[in-house]
Amino acid sequence: MTGNQKFPSDLLLVAVLVILTDIFVLVPVLSGSFIRTALGLPLLLFLPGYALIAMLFPEKSGLEGMERIALSVAMSISVVPLIGLALSYTPWGIKEVPLLTSFSAFTLLMLVAAYVRRSYLPADRTFEVPFRVLALTLISGVMGNPESKTEKNLRIILALSFLILIGTGAYAILVPQEKEPFTEFYILGTNGMANNYTTEYIQGESGTYIIGIANNEHRTVDYTMEVRLENKLLPLPENLQHIRLAHNTTLEEPLEITPSVEGENMKLEFLLFNETEKNVPYKDLCLWINVGEEV
């Protein structure tokens, strides 16, 4: 390991951004701030990939700057869904805090690995982002004396384009966008996960599912639900027949089903209706079950 133990500025910047994102997401007072969105997008689309690329290519000669940026975005787009898929098989599931923790932990671990790998390289071979040189070059290019009228016009266009870009980004962050109203309707197994559903029955036996409804309609909604086996209604408890949910509220309730007929590959339907349409299901889900003879 070389004697240069200074933590690289690019890795330090990524670590600071990850920690700031965690703070603005987890602290209730700050979680409603637009800064949360501004910090959250890089954590999803850039930072994990940059940390991974920094670990894989610690040398200057490995990749050029633009190649690193492009690969960082590509690797983030690849890594983030894989982490989400892995979480779906854990008791924590795909929820905000487990996702944030996983993305942050992955990024920080890759940063530590990148630092260790760079530490074993001579200083003249170690990759670094020359922030100071880049800033001086940019300022010199914009503020320096132009050699021709054409160069002067190009600098003006560059400056205007930069201002437009900053203004557009600020508008997108500061001005809240109205989200499309929607309702989530889902079924979970008895383990609280989207798997291990009861699909094999013996006549007279019961199976339990967890019904989930999340109201994101920006208003209070009255729902009704039906469960049908081969298009025949099954009895439901009163609390699931008529459901009133306020906006941004989620209901998860166990539902015990006792099939009324025998058969194979029978369609078990879960139908959710909203208050505006009573005849056509607003959301529908189904499972295919087998019911055998009583032994």
Taking the C-alpha atoms of residue 152 and residue 160, their distance in angstroms, rounded to an integer, is 12
Amino acid at 260: S
With DSSP H G I counted as helix, E B as strand and the rest as coil, what are the percentages for the chain, rounded to 5? 45, 25, 30
Taking the C-alpha atoms of residue 80 and residue 75, their distance in angstroms, rounded to an integer, is 8
What pLDDT is stored for residue 282 in this prediction?
92
What pLDDT is stored for residue 122 in this prediction?
85
Question: What domains can be seen in the chain, in order of their start residue?
Answer: 9-129 (no CATH), 182-292 (2.60.40.10)
Question: Of 46, 94, 96, which is closest to residue 74 (Cα–Cα)?
Answer: 46
Find residue 213's DSSP bridge partners.
185, 251
Taking the C-alpha atoms of residue 179 and residue 215, their distance in angstroms, rounded to an integer, is 13
Tokens of 43: 């954590």
Tokens of 34: 């637009």
CA distances from 68 to 7, 58, 168, 240 (A): 19, 11, 25, 53
What pLDDT is stored for residue 150 in this prediction?
65
Ranges assigned E (strand) in 70-145: none
Phi-psi region of 56 (alpha: psi -120 to 50; beta: other; left: phi over 0): alpha
Residue 113: CB partners within 8 Å, gap ≥ 6? 55
Q: 15: number of CA atoms within 13 Å, CB side?
A: 15
Tokens of 128: 């670094």
DSSP structure class, residue 235: -
Taking the C-alpha atoms of residue 22 and residue 25, their distance in angstroms, rounded to an integer, is 5
- Mutual orientation of helices 47-56 and 65-87 as an angle, nearest 10°? 110
Question: Of 116, 103, 130, which is closest to residue 56 (Cα–Cα)?
Answer: 116
What pLDDT is stored for residue 96 in this prediction?
82
CA distances from 133 to 69, 99, 139, 145 (A): 18, 36, 10, 19
Distance of CA 123 to the CA centre of its chain: 38
Question: Of 203, 259, 189, 251, which is closest to residue 230 (Cα–Cα)?
Answer: 259
What pLDDT is stored for residue 103 in this prediction?
92
Q: Is the pTM of this model over 0.85?
A: no
Tens digit of each residue's pLDDT, the chain (295 residues): 555 456 788 888 899 999 988 888 888 777 766 777 777 888 888 899 999 998 988 887 767 777 788 888 888 888 989 998 888 888 888 888 888 899 999 999 999 999 999 888 887 788 877 655 555 555 555 555 555 666 566 666 666 665 665 566 555 555 555 567 889 999 998 888 888 898 999 888 899 999 999 999 889 999 999 999 999 999 999 888 889 999 889 999 999 999 888 899 999 999 999 888 778 899 999 999 999 887 6
What pLDDT is stored for residue 151 in this prediction?
57
